[in-house]
Amino acid sequence: MLVYILKRLVQGAVTVWFIATATFVAMHAVPGDPLRGERLANAQIRANLEARYGLDKPVLEQYGVYVGNMLRGDFGLSYTQQNRRVNDIIREHFPVSATLGILAMAFATAGGVLWGALTALYRNRLPDAVIMFFVIVGISVPSFVVAAVSQYALVNLNTAFGTSLLPVAGWGTVWHMLVPALVLGLSTMAYLTRLMRSSMLDITQSDFVRTARAKGLPPTRIFLKHQLRNAILPVVTVLGPQIALITTGGFVVELVFAIPGLGRYFVEAVHQLDYTVIMGTTTFYGAFLVFMVIVVDVLYSFIDPRVTLE
């Protein structure tokens, strides 16, 4: 078990190193210049700035410094925001994204398990049809459309009632988080509902459920203890990739709802070609996602005793 975790961590570290290198190569392949602006016509200012960002060194040495700094957890200085460290940016904005992501993930898993179980219970009846209709909508409508439409609806609702029922955009209180988190979790919720439904239907026909029924257990007990607990297992396996989806989906939701999260910051940095911020946040996101997949895989062995990690 410990060996397995170590092996996965080493593999993950290699992946993160590759991501860091790929970002470095990509950023140095960009045509153009990280230092722009009329101020830089002055050769002395330019030389000073190049020295400050280490751009005067050969590329290989820059790469060495970059990897060395990254190993110490230092992502360097921002190009567009003077005197701001990338670490500070991440420290300041990531908690916002993480809060939103965790809330969305909670919405998605709770909703997915609940709706999936309900549709399986009411198979081929009205609740099933209604929920599956929304599932199909959730899967085929892009998140930015859902975000835009819900914001539009919020604006109109607030106008209709004459008071601010829920804030339309921004960040700060729990009320600000509700709608963005729901929107962010919606497609994952739809996907998990579908998965939960088919997994529940499989379980319902299994031998141990028939046995439980034959020995006279009450239906609620069969449902909660035998069916639900076993049907959740396939849902847990896909959580890792779904975390990645929610993380990147946050870019869009943060843009639409004007949430000061790392995702919005990343998109802005990409538009402004803020090299160090792009390299830092990409590597950070990459490391985070790789790590989350490992965590979910390890957790799975605790939830399902049949799975042994090798």
Partner 1 sequence: MSATPWQPTADDFAKAESRGDAQRIVRPSISYWQDAWQRLQRNPRALVSLGIVVALALFTIFGPWVWRVNPAAQDVDQISAGPGARGSGRIVEPYTAWAGVTVETLPTSGSAVATGIRLAEPPTTHAVRLVWDPAANATGYHVYRNISDPKASRALGLPLGDILDPHRVSFEDRFDLEAVPYWYSIVALDAAGAEADGYAVFEAEPKLVVSADEAVARGWVADSSEARVGDAVELPYHPLGTDYLGRDLLSRLMHGARISLFIGVVAPLLFVFFGICYGSAAGFAGGRVDQVLMRAADFVVALPFLLFMILFRIAFGIGPGESGVFPMLVALVLLGWPSTARLVRGQVLQIRNEAYIGASRLLGAKTPYLVFRHMVPNTIGVILVTLTFEVPRVIFIEAFLSFIGMGVAPPTPSWGSMSNEGIKTMLAHPHELLFPALFISVAVLAFNLLGDGLRDALDVRLRGRE
Interacting residue ranges for partner 1, rule: CB under 8 A: 11-12, 15, 18-19, 22-23, 25-27, 29-32, 136-137, 139-145, 148, 151-152, 155, 197-198, 201, 244, 248, 251-252, 255-256, 267, 270-271, 273, 278, 282, 285-286, 289-290, 293
Is the Cβ of residue 55 or residue 217 nearer to partner 1 in the bound state? 55
Helix (H, G, I), strand (E, B) or coil at 270: helix
Closer by beta carbon to partner 1, 222 or else 290? 290
Write down the H helix ranges in the chain. 2-29, 43-53, 59-71, 86-121, 126-140, 143-161, 174-204, 207-214, 219-221, 229-237, 239-256, 262-272, 275-303
Reading the block at residue 255, the tokens are 């843009």
Minimum CB distance to partner 1, residue 287 (Å): 10
Closest distance to partner 1 from the beta carbon of 44 (Å): 28
Cβ nearer to partner 1, comparing 140 with 164: 140
The tokens of 153 are what? Answer: 């609806």
CB 170 within 8 A of CB 259: yes
Angle at 94 between CA 289 and CA 250, to 5 degrees: 65
The smaller minimum CB distance to partner 1, of residues 178 and 245, is found at 245
Q: How far is the CB of 99 from partner 1 (least distance, A)?
A: 20
Please state the closest distance from residue 100 (CB atom) to partner 1, in A: 16
Shortest separation between residue 295's beta carbon and partner 1, angstroms: 14
Q: Which CB sits closer to partner 1, 144 or 217?
A: 144
Is residue 111 a contact partner of residue 183, using CB atoms and an 8 Å limit? no
Nearest CA to 233 among 147, 309, 301? Answer: 301
Nearest CA to 109 out of 203, 232, 225 is that of 232
Q: How far is the CB of 216 from partner 1 (least distance, A)?
A: 30
The residue among 156, 152, 145 whose CA lies nearest residue 252 is 145
Nearer to partner 1, 96 or 195 (CB): 195
